[in-house]
Amino acid sequence: MPEEAGSRGLAAADRYYEDYGSRVRELKKQGKQIIGYLCALTPVEIIAAAGLVPFRIKGDVNEPITKADTEMETIVCPLVRSWFDMSLKGKYEFLDGIVIPHACDSISTTYNVWKNTLNLPYSHLINMPHSTDGPSLKFYKALLNTFRTSLSKFTGKEISDQSLNQAISLYNQNRAKVRELYELRKASPPLISGAEVAKLLIASVSMPVEEATLLIDSVIKEVKQRGGVLAAKPARIMVVGAEVDDVTFIDLIEDSGAWVVADDLCPGAREFFDDADVTADPIEGIAERYLRKIKCGRTFREKKGDYDDYLEERFGHIGRFIKDFKVDGVVLYIYKYCDPYGFDVPAMKSYIESVGAPVLYLEDEYSMSTIGRLRTRIQAFLEVLGSK
């Protein structure tokens, strides 16, 4: 990260968020190769270990989806279509390649569209399985080894165990910093707003991991130094959903008289709370993290026992967040045609209500045009919380 004044702290996070991709654009000029990827389920450790810079593709709720609609039907979720639309409109012209994990069907089944339309020097699909059992893990490890080989063919350099272990440890340091950041949200009122956290974390996946860690660390220091500057608000909200890579929705809640103090989102707690263990075969630790540790609706977790045991296995972490972050109410923010999260809604809602938190379920289209409709529902929800 450049060392000049103002390259750290909240102001810098804001700038990297607003001018998304500005850091990798600089690195590209310095001769670095940039690999775009979709979704938190891409094993970025392997890309970094290959000496490449992983860059998360981001959408834009303010940009109407136009070009993407010529290649993707509207049954593809609006977030994926916005990502693709931004890519087609030249926003990510610096990319040398694209990596797509089989996160959900909207992502994996559009792989060929991404590959053939963007026509980048490198494209790869990691067809990861959907179950967490032994054979699935074994299969997934084989896929990760194929990915490792494919990347080393692209760079012409072998990816050593040592460089993988180094990347794992850099990413784990980064995740530990995010967890430290979340501690600042536990105070009442929180020391850092939900919008500030969202912008920082979104910015953090647009730059090399070491730089992201420094940026997060600088924000933690700045926030601790400024102390309790945020006003008291009547409600503490947790947002649960798939990927929210735009701050508009978080702003909307915070402008309506609440603080967003916790989340189960990407980029957010779901993405950063679990480390990859350093294992003898580094691929083992990576596979465990992405297939078994990240609790995304796209992964099916079979659990022996009754339905309550299943709910605890699948959503227990949400319950723990509600308790640890003293959450008053949970907003389920689900995009239209998001199959993994859409399918989960009834179970998720009943689980969250069973631990005592009221739930507002909102279905959205990843577009600014729906904001007015969402605002009245959020206001009504906050009033309901206030009248309890």
Q: Toward other proteins, which CB reaches closer, 186 or 377?
A: 377
Q: Toward other proteins, which CB reaches closer, 277 or 363?
A: 363
Binding string, residues 368-387; x marks residues near other proteins by CB under 8 A: --x--x--xx-xxx-xx--x
| Closest separation in Å from C-beta 20 to other proteins | 29
| Distance, first Cα to last Cα, the chain | 48
Report which of 116, 103, 58, 111 is spatially closest to residue 85, judged by C-alpha positions: 58
**Which residues, at least 6 apart from 246, have a Cβ–Cβ distance to it below 8 Å?**
58, 59, 60, 61, 202, 366
Q: Toward other proteins, which CB reaches closer, 211 or 365?
A: 365
Residue 307, both tokens: 């339905």
Could you give the residue ranges of the DSSP H alpha helices within the chain? 9-18, 22-29, 44-49, 78-88, 105-108, 111-118, 134-155, 161-183, 194-204, 209-226, 248-255, 269-272, 282-287, 307-324, 339-354, 371-386
| Closest separation in Å from C-beta 204 to other proteins | 33
| Closest separation in Å from C-beta 388 to other proteins | 7
Q: Toward other proteins, which CB reaches closer, 284 or 363?
A: 363
Q: Toward other proteins, which CB reaches closer, 113 or 368?
A: 368
Going by the DSSP 8-state scheme, the letter that residue 336 receives in this structure is T
Contacts with other proteins: how many residues (CB under 8 A)? Answer: 13
Unique residue bearing structure tokens 């991404």: 114
| Closest separation in Å from C-beta 266 to other proteins | 24
Per-residue CA distances from 139 to 282, 283, 290, 300, 373 (Å):
16, 12, 13, 15, 44
Residue 196 C-alpha from the chain's centroid: 15
Going by the DSSP 8-state scheme, the letter that residue 288 receives in this structure is I
* Sole binder of other proteins in the list 67, 173, 358, 371 (CB under 8 A): 358
> Count of residues for the chain?
388
- Do the beta carbons of residue 338 and residue 104 sit within 8 Å? yes
Helix axes 9-18, 209-226, angle to 10 degrees: 130
- Do the beta carbons of residue 311 and residue 341 sit within 8 Å? no
Question: Rule CB under 8 A: is residue 217 a binding residue for other proteins?
Answer: no
Helix axes 248-255, 194-204, angle to 10 degrees: 170
Question: Rule CB under 8 A: is residue 363 a binding residue for other proteins?
Answer: yes
Report which of 211, 210, 327 is spatially closest to residue 264, judged by C-alpha positions: 327
| Closest separation in Å from C-beta 133 to other proteins | 33
| Closest separation in Å from C-beta 135 to other proteins | 38
| Closest separation in Å from C-beta 380 to other proteins | 3
Q: Toward other proteins, which CB reaches closer, 119 or 387?
A: 387
Three-class secondary structure of residue 194 per DSSP: helix
Q: Toward other proteins, which CB reaches closer, 32 or 336?
A: 336
Question: Rule CB under 8 A: is residue 342 a binding residue for other proteins?
Answer: no
Q: Toward other proteins, which CB reaches closer, 279 or 370?
A: 370
| Closest separation in Å from C-beta 177 to other proteins | 38
Q: Toward other proteins, which CB reaches closer, 220 or 352?
A: 352
| Closest separation in Å from C-beta 299 to other proteins | 27
Question: Rule CB under 8 A: is residue 339 a binding residue for other proteins?
Answer: no
How far apart are the C-alpha atoms of 181 and 12, rounded to whole Å? 16
Q: Toward other proteins, which CB reaches closer, 187 or 384?
A: 384
**Which residues, at least 6 apart from 369, have a Cβ–Cβ distance to it below 8 Å?**
none
- Which residues contact other proteins by CB under 8 A? 358, 363, 370, 373, 376-377, 379-381, 383-384, 387-388
